[in-house]
Structure 1
Amino acid sequence: MFVNARIATRKYLLYNCHQRFIFVNYFCVNSKKLEYDVVIVGGGHAGCEAAAAASRKGAKSLLITQSKATVGAMSCNPSFGGIGKGHLMREIDAMDGICARLCDDTGIHFHVLNRSHGPAVIGLRALIDRKLYKKAMQKEIFENTPNLDIIESTVEDLIIEEATCSNKNFTHKLVGCIIKNGINIYSPSVIITTGTFLKGELNWGGKSVPGGRMGEGPSSGLAETFARLGFKTGRLSTGTPPRLLSSTINYDKFTKQATDEEPIPFSFLNSKVGIPTELQLASYVGYTNDNLVKIVRENIDEKHSLISALNEGIKVFFLEIYDFELPDFNPE
């Protein structure tokens, strides 16, 4: 691209923890290597935790994300916790993670699951204000995470070299990554937290388009890298619930579930949650009925292409798939 240029300059916008925008020049000729102790690819929940953990260890770190504006975005479901994930959150919190603390600060509905079933299956769950959580996460990452730079770009490939060690089981080693426009970033540790963006697809009805999230492209280059290196990749499916306009809902048809009177925080560091109970919101529980199942069955052919595309053996409990697999499904 710049064969005839003596010095070619790339400018990328870096965002550091002091909220200063810095234009950094990358030179194609006689340039100093851009090096970090740790590079994190993807600015979702896992990427933010990895960046914060690397920072706590004093590592010079770089977080690469398509857009800093979406750092901390809650893509599919505005909730945290549950039987399994709630346990995982507490383990992360025990290692000084950040998501549990932020959920305590931004939660708008807290509820203990399976309270009557015994301690082995009790789980904490909370609904989170999406805007407050993203704002809190960005403040944590941008302002309170030292040793961290953030660059808006995409990783297209990994830099792999032949290993010099005598262990025949390891013939190659990772030394960095290549971002958009061919810029090399060198690091002995590259943490991949691309989530749904890794060769992601968006499906609704019978339509499927490449994407990691609505309006954002997938991470296709990395997927090709993994295939070239011999790694097997699969696909997990996550369902995004529809957003309904509150003023159009007849709440009298639902069962009201108030927030717990004394919410239990996720974080061991907190004795209480941030938003007072009286300001939190109630949830409303609804059930399927014969009319809803009838609508699903009348339109099941439109969903068949999506159902057929799922990996064999993976159960995704969308209502239409559940009904497709169990034709005698009883909504009660």
Structure 2
Amino acid sequence: MNDFIGGDYDVIVVGAGHAGCEAALAPARLGFKTAIFTLNLDNIANMPCNPNIGGTAKGQLVREVDALGGQMGISADANFIQSKILNKAKGPAVYSLRAQIDRRAYSAYMKYVLEQQENLDLKQAEVTDILCEDGKIKGIRVHTGTVYSCKTLILTTGTYLKGCIIIGSSRISSGPDGLLPANKLSDSLENFGIELMRFKTGTPARINRRSIDFSKLIEQPGDDEIVPFSFMTGELKKDQVSCYMSHTTAETHRIIHENLHRAPLYSGDIKGVGPRYCPSIEDKIVRFADKESHQVFVEPMGIGTMEMYLLGVSTSMPEDVQMKIMQSLPGLENVSVMRPAYAIEYDCINSTQLRLSLEIKSIEGLFFAGQINGSSGYEEAAAQGLMAGINATMKLQNREPLILDRSQAYIGVLIDDLVTKGTNEPYRMMTSRAEYRLYLRQDNADLR
């Protein structure tokens, strides 16, 4: 029986997160026939963790993505609910724009951008196999058995590959936010000799705004002057929402210490390597035992929802312990939890198998971008997705790939670190990683 051929494309992108969106838009805008596949079209450009874009070093990445023709900055400007410049007390080299984003509005906006883009088809399906012939990519197979052929393939699978959500002793095969995982594609990659690793990340609980006593929190308003991410965005005027700050207490620390034996992170239930620069609350309490308190930021998830995000309280503790931890925070004594915090383990590749173009060395025409490369963060993903999309088109034209030097861009530092050094933990972009950070300012990305 012959395979049903669902379509023939120049570029296929697997995954429609922040990397996938940029990876698909770049070739489509350059005139190449492109398709993007996702497990759920209603979760395009989803923000399963903090609903914000930018921040230290990350704001620079977004500006660079924008200067190269990417979409993230434009979409952020259209859907932010609070805007701030961080590090104002320091020099302009480390000024970093950060925006709180309406999560659902951003996702819907990005979906519409993809839908109306010429040369781009959107497909809802689980990709189960990559198809190669004589060391070259030939296409993909989806869960229904349908085959799609392509000249280049970009994998931007995020945290979905054999995703496993962990809450206390509970382990559930799942992608982020309780979405379906992609359980078969990892095996296909391993069959072609691609080395996989197992990483872990986590996210805090989401709570109901009505259950918060704001009189005990410190208000954190946005800046009066709104600075856009995109160089193409004009003057912005918008009523902004506030974030709020609480803190851990001695009672918080006592609860965590008394329940460390129930923490999957310390009981050995979590095998994946977690992010050093975004530790769970239990990890913070253990690693920074001299600290009497840690900041907790209470941030809105959007305009049309009562959900609030607890930045700084990421955990995989059992639900009863999570509840005690949150009730020990000033202002959250009567908290109503809408979604519990969780850790998620997932497969990613050893990024030293890649070229600086983000094409894997062993299979011609196969590119990788985003968290599958061992990075973390929406902005890092978008930057890699854009570069993979550009270089896939360069490949199609038999042109040299676009490779940014460490002295030219934070994107250059990000990709160079991943490809030449590799990473044994989720990689986060920081200004300290860039030797030329005094020149790589967010305000000169377009000039660079």
Alpha-carbon distance between aligned partners in 2 of 1:173 and 1:307, rounded to the nearest angstrom: 43
Alpha-carbon distance between aligned partners in 2 of 1:182 and 1:45, rounded to the nearest angstrom: 27
One-letter code aligned to 2:143: K
Aligned mate of 1:147, from 111, 119, 128: 119
Which residue of the partner structure matches residue 219 of structure 1? Answer: 182
Which residue of the partner structure matches residue 113 of structure 1? Answer: 86
Cα deviation per residue 1:58-82 (whole Å; 9 max; x = unaligned)? 0101111112111132221211001
Alpha-carbon distance between aligned partners in 1 of 2:266 and 2:57, rounded to the nearest angstrom: 27
* 3-state SS, counterpart of residue 293 of structure 1: helix
Which residue of the partner structure matches residue 10 of structure 2? Answer: 37
Q: In 1, are the aligned partners of 2:169 and 2:264 still within 8 Å (CA)? A: yes
* Residue 202, structure 1, aligned to residue 175, structure 2: no
Alpha-carbon distance between aligned partners in 2 of 1:307 and 1:322, rounded to the nearest angstrom: 16
Alpha-carbon distance between aligned partners in 2 of 1:256 and 1:154, rounded to the nearest angstrom: 43
Aligned mate of 1:298, from 251, 254, 258: 258
Which residue of the partner structure matches residue 50 of structure 1? Answer: 23
Which residue of the partner structure matches residue 331 of structure 1? Answer: 293
How far 1:325 moved relative to its partner?
3.7
Aligned mate of 1:317, from 251, 261, 279: 279
* Residue 81, structure 1, aligned to residue 54, structure 2: yes
How far 1:207 moved relative to its partner?
2.1
One-letter code aligned to 2:79: T
* 3-state SS, counterpart of residue 172 of structure 2: strand
Cα deviation per residue 1:61-114 (whole Å; 9 max; x = unaligned)? 111111211113222121100112211111111111111111111100111111
* 3-state SS, counterpart of residue 247 of structure 2: coil
Cα deviation per residue 1:17-54 (whole Å; 9 max; x = unaligned)? xxxxxxxxxxx47x667310000001111111111111
One-letter code aligned to 1:65: T
Alpha-carbon distance between aligned partners in 2 of 1:312 and 1:249, rounded to the nearest angstrom: 33
Task: Name the stretch that deviates more: 180-189 or 200-209.
Answer: 200-209
Q: In 1, are the aligned partners of 2:6 and 2:148 still within 8 Å (CA)? A: yes
Q: In 1, are the aligned partners of 2:52 and 2:101 still within 8 Å (CA)? A: yes
Which residue of the partner structure matches residue 188 of structure 1? Answer: 151
Q: In 2, are the aligned partners of 1:206 and 1:306 still within 8 Å (CA)? A: no
Change (3 A) 1:269 1:176: same
Which residue of the partner structure matches residue 6 of structure 1? Answer: none
* 3-state SS, counterpart of residue 268 of structure 1: coil
Alpha-carbon distance between aligned partners in 1 of 2:122 and 2:266, rounded to the nearest angstrom: 36
Alpha-carbon distance between aligned partners in 1 of 2:33 and 2:177, rounded to the nearest angstrom: 32
Task: Name the stretch that deviates more: 193-202 or 32-41.
Answer: 32-41
One-letter code aligned to 1:78: P
One-letter code aligned to 2:126: T
Alpha-carbon distance between aligned partners in 2 of 1:65 and 1:224, rounded to the nearest angstrom: 18
Give aligned-pair identity as a percent: 33
One-letter code aligned to 2:104: K
Mind listing any 5+ residue stretches in structure 2 that lack a counterpart? 295-448
How far 1:261 moved relative to its partner?
0.2
Which one has a bigger Cα radius of gyration? 1
Aligned mate of 2:128, from 129, 148, 156: 156
Runs of 4+ in structure 1 over 3 Å off: 304-308, 310-314, 324-329
Change (3 A) 1:307 1:56: farther
Task: With a CA cutoff of 8 Å and minimum separation of 6, indicate the structure with the bigger relative contact order.
Answer: 2
**TM-score of the pair, normalised by structure 1:** 0.82
One-letter code aligned to 1:290: A
Task: Name the stretch that deviates more: 303-312 or 74-83.
Answer: 303-312
Aligned mate of 1:269, from 215, 232, 245: 232
Q: In 1, are the aligned partners of 2:201 and 2:275 still within 8 Å (CA)? A: no
